[in-house]
């Protein structure tokens, strides 16, 4: 285990790292508290940078520059990464929701458009997995809406299509899923 002196030599001397809380300025104490709060907030569930900033602002305890400093440290150590957050959310909801619906969830959670696009492109790069997940999601939504699609009349089928299109599924995908459903019932 390294001694304190070894650590200070490696990282630019002891003046940069004050370990005695009594020697910290009020600003440094506030920054440390903000960092601890951030770590507490992301301990059980990862959050986007925007959502974390929002929670810190709402507390009213931290100024914008203190929040910026805490977020900068968290990003440097990889605790906050919106791209990773987006990829994780996509994997979580793939096969349950349409990709458009997942994209909307990411926007609501404050993930930037560039990160969403990069995560979606990475997911779509595996065409087989993305296609299967999207098809599974639409089939799941169909089963949730009705048990037997063959028994649907024209009006009920139109309503089913409309509901699925509103959820973000493409017309072609819904048609394909209904055709597969019809084949399975034979």
Tens of pLDDT, residues 118-176: 999 888 887 666 677 888 888 888 888 887 777 778 888 888 888 888 888 888 888 88
Q: Tell whether 61 and 88 lie within a shared domain.
A: no
Q: Tell whether 25 and 55 lie within a shared domain.
A: yes
HEC readout, the chain? CCCHHHHHHHCCCCCCCCCCHHHCCHHHHHHHHHHHHHHHHHHCCCCCHHHHHHHHHHHCCCCHHHHHHHHHHHHHCCCCCHHHHHHHHHHHHECCECHHHHHHHHHHCCCCHHHHHHHHHHHHHCHHHHHHHHHHHHHHHHHHHCCCHHHCCHHHHHHHHHHHHHCCCCHHHHHHHHHHHHHHHC
- pTM beyond 0.75: no
For the chain, give me the number of helices (H) and strands (E)?
A: 10, 0
Task: Assess contact for 49 and 82: CB atoms under 8 A.
Answer: yes
Q: Which residues contact 28 (CB under 8 A, 6 or more apart)?
A: 18
Confidence of residue 14 (pLDDT cuts 50, 70, 90): very low
Q: Helices 82-93 and 99-108 meet at what angle, rounded to 10?
A: 140
Q: Tell whether 111 and 54 lie within a shared domain.
A: no
Question: Over pLDDT 90: what percentage of the chain?
Answer: 28
Residue 64 has pLDDT above 90, yes or no: yes
Q: Tell whether 15 and 46 lie within a shared domain.
A: yes
Q: Tell whether 13 and 91 lie within a shared domain.
A: no
Q: Tell whether 87 and 76 lie within a shared domain.
A: no
Q: Tell whether 110 and 45 lie within a shared domain.
A: no
Q: Tell whether 76 and 10 lie within a shared domain.
A: yes
The residue among 46, 80, 114 that closes a domain is 80
Tens of pLDDT, residues 146-156: 877 777 788 88
Segments forming the whole domain that contains residue 51 = 4-80
How many domains does the chain fold into? 2
The residue among 80, 113, 148 that closes a domain is 80
Q: Tell whether 35 and 56 lie within a shared domain.
A: yes
Report angle CA 107, 111, 112 to the nearest 5 degrees: 95
Q: Tell whether 95 and 68 lie within a shared domain.
A: no
Task: Assess contact for 164 and 182: CB atoms under 8 A.
Answer: no
Q: Tell whether 96 and 76 lie within a shared domain.
A: no
Tens of pLDDT, residues 16-60: 555 566 677 788 888 888 999 999 998 888 889 999 999 999 988
The residue among 30, 59, 80 that closes a domain is 80
Q: Tell whether 95 and 138 lie within a shared domain.
A: yes
């Amino acid at each position: 285990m390294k001694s304190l002196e070894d650590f200070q030599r490696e990282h630019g001397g002891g003046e940069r790292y004050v370990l005695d809380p009594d020697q910290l300025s009020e600003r440094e104490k506030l920054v440390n508290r903000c960092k601890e709060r951030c770590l507490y907030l992301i301990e059980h569930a990862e959050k986007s940078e925007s959502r974390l900033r929002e929670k810190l602002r709402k507390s009213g305890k931290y100024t914008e520059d203190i929040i910026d400093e805490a977020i900068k440290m968290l990003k440097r150590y990889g605790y906050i990464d919106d791209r990773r957050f987006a990829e994780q959310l996509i994997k979580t909801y793939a096969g349950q929701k349409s990709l458009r619906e997942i994209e909307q969830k990411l926007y609501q959670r404050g993930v930037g458009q560039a990160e969403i696009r990069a995560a979606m492109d990475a997911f779509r790069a595996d065409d087989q997995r993305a296609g299967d997940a999207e098809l599974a999601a639409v089939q799941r939504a169909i089963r949730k809406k009705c048990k037997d699609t063959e028994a649907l009349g024209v009006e009920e089928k139109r309503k089913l299509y409309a509901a699925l299109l509103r959820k973000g599924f493409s017309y072609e995908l819904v048609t394909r899923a209904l055709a597969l459903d019809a084949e399975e019932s034979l």
